[in-house]
Structure 1
Amino acid sequence: MRRLIAIVLIFAVLWFGYWFIARAALERGVADAFHNARAEGRVARYQSLGVTGFPNRFDMTLDKVALGLPLDASASASASTQAQAVWHAPQVQLIALSYRPNRMIAVLPGAQMLTLPDQKITLTSKQLAANFNLAADTALSFDSLALIGDKLDITSTDGWAATLKQGRLAANRLPAPATYRVGFEALDLTPNPALRARLDPNRDLPAVIDKLHLDGRLTLSAPLDRHVGESRPQPQAITLTDARLDWGQTRIVATGTLRRGAGGLAEGQLDVKIIQWQPLLRIAEADGVIEPARLATWRKALQALAQGSGRADTIDLPLVFGGGQISLGFLPLGPAPRF
């Protein structure tokens, strides 16, 4: 019995020692990561950091956090003069079991704010939390993320706002190098009058967007791990396996691949199917994409395409990215985005 008690006591001392050593290493690692990010020209700060949960958990709390990147992701380390997108959070809580510190739960209480050069976007929610996992390797490679938010309110200083019943974001590492599966879904998205006036000026569609869904693969120039400060991963290709917008009777489905082309411009093609396309034609006219004098010509052309699909309410068109431009079928839409 004495030997057993001695073994238990030795184990307890070792375990307690491990916890305090690991806590110190965690606090030092976070402080160093923020310091290194600032040295590379990024916004990275917090007001206070604490770790509790002894002896079986690491409960880390950071107060008044700000993280940001130059909007030009290819900018050099002297990017402090570049326009930046900065995320502000009143508090970030990271919770992990002390024997599985690479498996974390993140809780984001309070209002989140994204500061852009032309506006500030505030996000409040009933609940916003995520499971965040790292691989058990020396590089601390990203493994998976699952974030969910309930009853989200989004407000911009630019005048627009929206509410969501629920938003979900998920990502996980795939076997291919620096490749990740990414999924997003927004349910019952309700734009405020200002945003609805931009999206649907004539109010041809319902007030609520039923679903926005995306499932695809993202390939980067380098993996997401503890070396991201040096490797600075850049998007190389995006494959949409299932992208859908359900808005009343109108449905848009897109699949295809876009790749990083010359100058970082997107190149490739998405195959787009539009069901109940007629309201979108009126929206294109209201937004100035189609001149009113040519509306009848466009309607006849799209009706001919719909007859070819076998359904009068359905058209299939290629969304082509090339030469720095985007076109939907034979309709030019504007400049192509940069990766």
Structure 2
Amino acid sequence: MRQGHEKGGAVKRLAILVIVAALAWSGFWAFSAWAQKRAIEGWAEDRRADGWEVSYDDLAIRGFPNRLDTTFTGLLLADPGSNTVWEAPFLQVLQMVWSRDHVIIAFPDEQVLTRDGARYEMSSEGLRASLVRDDGYLLRAHAEADVLNVSGEAPLALSDLTAAIDRLEGEDRTYRVAVNAEGIATGGRISGGGDDGLRLDSTVALAEPLRPETYADAQPTRIEIRRAEIGMDALQLAATGELDVDEDGYPEGELSLRVENLREAIEAERQAGRVPSEVLSLIESAAQLLAGLSGREDTIDLTFEFRDRRTWLGFLPLGKAPQLH
């Protein structure tokens, strides 16, 4: 009898311990959700104080017991400083309770970006991203989408898209930037297969370590493009280069560009009727001249030099160099 009584007491103590632990975890999750909501509301108030418009129809935090799933509905962010407005019917930010520096973001199928009065409607399938931070600084950011379509003055369609920003090991200001899309189009059917698509492999050094919330203010100091390629139907573009960037954002260095099958691509655009014939004739005339300088009939090889805040093609000055920040 005594042994059974002791066994029953042990089970009772274990049950009490489990209940206490469950209550404690429930309280911790509730506090974490409350702190998350307060932090978001505080961020929104800070942005409004800076002149932003920040609004949402609802803010809900769910995911008990292990996650903090934050869902915005009717979200609008407007930054008057950059004349940028972003609207989305919803946005989900997913985190584990014990790993707040790893964030997964799920985007809606439809969203709208307006910049300087130009409106871009974005439709997507499976668009999502993940961010990993260390003490607030970005370690890596990855994004992917099965399909991403952007309408506007220069419509673009991408399929099987992946993009990555990874901080190099042992560095705190240098990141590898890579983008890959198996299909790409500027209108009409998305091409894919063979050499078609988009590929970028580059390294960017910044003046300061990157924080996700201040990415728009990032200032590059050096850009190395190991591989940048775009293939659409017949047209093939490839670029490589190394550029240093001064404190005002002007590049110094060289950028090499190769264009292949331009004549066939121009004829395809002429048949499709997407570009005015006058524009195509102008491009065709310029392409023939540049191809002649390259010594090839349908391939253009150019090296642009950036120095003294100007752009040069050989000994020919082309004008002011682009300002990168």
TM-score, normalised with respect to structure 2: 0.78
Q: In the aligned structure 2, how far is the partner of 1:260 from the partner of 1:52?
A: 45
State the secondary structure of the residue aligned to 1:65.
strand
1:264-283 maps to which residues of 2 (within 5 A)?
A: 264-276=249-261
Distance 1:324 1:56, change over 3 A: same
C-alpha separation between the residues in 1 aligned to 2:287 and 2:202? 34
The residue correspondences of 1:162-181 to structure 2 (distance < 5 A) are 162-174=156-168, 175-181=170-176
- Whether the 8 Å contact between 1:218 and 1:237 is mirrored in structure 2 is yes
1:190 and 2:185 aligned: yes
Distance 1:299 1:315, change over 3 A: closer
3-state SS of paired residue (1:54): coil
8 Å CA contact 2:95, 2:103 repeated in 1: yes
- How far 1:51 sits from its partner (Å)? 0.3
Structure 2 residue 136 is matched with structure 1 residue 140:
yes
Aligned length: 301
Give me the whole-angstrom Cα distance separating, in 2, the residues matched to 1:287 and 1:328: 22
Q: Pick closer, same or farther for the CA change 1:224–1:28 going to 2, 3 Å.
A: farther
* Per-residue deviation, 1:167: 2.5
What does residue 60 of structure 1 align with?
70
Does 2:212 align with 1:259?
Answer: no
Aligned-pair distance for 1:68? 4.6
Query: Matched residues in 2 for 1:248 and 1:316: separation?
Result: 20
SS of aligned partner of 1:125: strand
* 2:292 is equivalent to residue 300 of structure 1: yes
1:268 deviation in Å? Answer: 2.1
Matched, 1:322 2:321: no
Q: Distance in 2 between matches of 1:328 and 1:281?
A: 23
Paired residue for 2:59?
49
How far apart are the structure 1 equivalents of 2:51 and 2:304? 37
**8 Å Cα contact 2:291-2:300 kept in structure 1:** no
Q: CA deviation at 1:115?
A: 0.3
What are the within-5 Å matches in structure 2 for residues 87-106 of structure 1? 87-106=86-105
Contact 2:158 2:190 in 1 (8 A): no
Retained in 2: the 8 A contact 1:89–1:110? no
Unaligned 5+ residue runs, structure 2?
1-9, 270-277
Contact 1:151–1:163, Cα closer than 8 Å, also in 2: yes
Identity %: 28
Q: Is the 1:148–1:169 Cα contact (8 Å) retained in structure 2?
A: yes
1:30 aligns with 2:40: yes
CA distance in 1, matches of 2:315, 2:141: 39
Q: Distance in 1 between matches of 2:289 and 2:28?
A: 74
Closer/same/farther in 2, CA of residues 270 and 189 from structure 1, 3 Å limit: same
Any idea what the Cα deviations from partners look like across 1:216-250, whole Å, max 9, x if unmatched?
Answer: 12222222237849x94323332212211123344
C-alpha separation between the residues in 2 aligned to 1:213 and 1:65? 32
Choose which of 214, 224, 239 in structure 1 pairs with 2:200. Answer: 214
Structure 1 residue aligned with 2:275: none
Residue 10 of structure 1 aligns to a residue in which SS?
Answer: helix
Q: Quick one: which amino acid aligns to residue 166 of structure 1?
A: D
Structure number with the bigger relative contact order (C-alpha 8 A, sep ≥ 6) is: 1
- Structure 1, unaligned runs of 5 or more: 70-79, 194-205, 307-311
Secondary structure of 2:209's match? coil
- Which residue number in structure 2 is paired with residue 125 of structure 1? 124
Q: Distance in 2 between matches of 1:189 and 1:106?
A: 24
1:328–1:41 CA distance, 2 compared to 1 (3 A): farther
Of 229, 250, 253, 1:244 maps to 229
Q: Is the 8 A contact 1:289 1:333 kept in 2?
A: no
Q: Secondary structure at the match of 1:263?
A: coil
Residue 38 of structure 1, CA deviation: 2.9
- Superposed CA offset, 1:262-296 (max 9, x none): 6322332123344446568999x95687794x876
Partner of 2:220: 235
The residue identity in structure 2 corresponding to 1:133 is: V
Counterpart of 1:151 in structure 2 is 147
Structure 2 CA distance for partners of 1:333 and 1:96, relative to 1, 3 Å: same
Partner letter of residue 162 of structure 1?
L
**How far apart, in 1, do the equivalents of 2:179 and 2:20 lie?**
48
Change (3 A) 1:255 1:85: same
Distance in 2, Cα, partners of 1:259 & 1:59:
42
Change in CA separation of 1:298 and 1:62 when aligned onto 2, cut-off 3 Å:
closer
Question: TM-score with structure 1 length normalisation?
Answer: 0.75
8 Å contact from structure 1 (residues 191, 208) kept in 2: no
Report the alpha carbon displacement of residue 55 of structure 1 after superposing the two structures with TM.
1.2
Specify the structure having the higher radius of gyration (Cα).
2
Q: Distance in 1 between matches of 2:131 and 2:82?
A: 29
Q: Give the RMSD, CA atoms, in angstroms.
A: 3.4
> Structure 2 CA distance, aligned partners of 1:99 and 1:11?
16
- Name 2:7's counterpart in structure 1: none
